[in-house]
Chains A and B, each alone.
Chain A
């Protein structure tokens, strides 16, 4: 077993030269994990609503703390990124746009479009209406 542990284990993240496509690949994983954490907050929110107005009022105090507002902004970015990067993966699954130049171009499309979407969502969520989370 000792010799097994010393074998190099894939994937190696830091042995490669920095590449454009690394950002979208690793970004998709990180944003996916953040969205998973988001489902925990979603379940907590739903349970608080189900608990009645008083319980929800208490939960709302927690959920409107600054750290949670920051987390919502992170979630909106994660959602935008994971959505666009995921659609890119679905396109790849049809066997198209897999050439090096194409994947480099689509990587930049993912970054630009997801940042644009994030800006729209953050504006919508935080700067329109009187909706404090």
Chain B
């Protein structure tokens, strides 16, 4: 494992943290799924990119 020298002791690098974003794809435009304009809003969600569930924000509007 890679390490940093700090005086006489070695501090292991958190390689897991360093690689956290290593596999992120390049920035891209993410369009809604192409569906009928009369279809339900949830159906437009790009499921490979996002999912919808209970918000982490305590005062988020419920049942939007």
Same assembly: no
Which A residues are closer than 8 A to B by beta carbons? Answer: none
Which B residues are closer than 8 A to A by beta carbons? Answer: none
